[in-house]
Amino acid sequence: MLHIDPAMPATVLTLSRNKTVTTRVRETSLKEAVRFVMERLPRVERSRSLIRTPTHSLYFAEIEALYMQWHDKPTMPH
């Protein structure tokens, strides 16, 4: 994984089952976007989430890894 600045601006998107994209959060930091996906989205939506920054698009595996790294959580929230 590349070095990623937790303070960089980010937008949280989700992809629905019918292939529509919904913006869930805009103009937040990457760290807060990661927290939003892992702590506020229902479990079924987490795996269909995407975080966009000015330089990266992060998919669920990367979001989960950053959450574990930044929030020092031994297990994922339910």
Q: Which residue has the higher pLDDT, 3 or 58?
A: 58
- Render pLDDT for 16-62 as a digit per residue (tens, 0 to 9): 888 899 999 999 999 999 999 999 999 989 999 999 999 989 999 99
pLDDT for the residue 46 = 94
pLDDT for the residue 49 = 96
**3-state DSSP assignment of residue 59:** coil
pTM for this predicted structure: 0.85
pLDDT for the residue 77 = 52
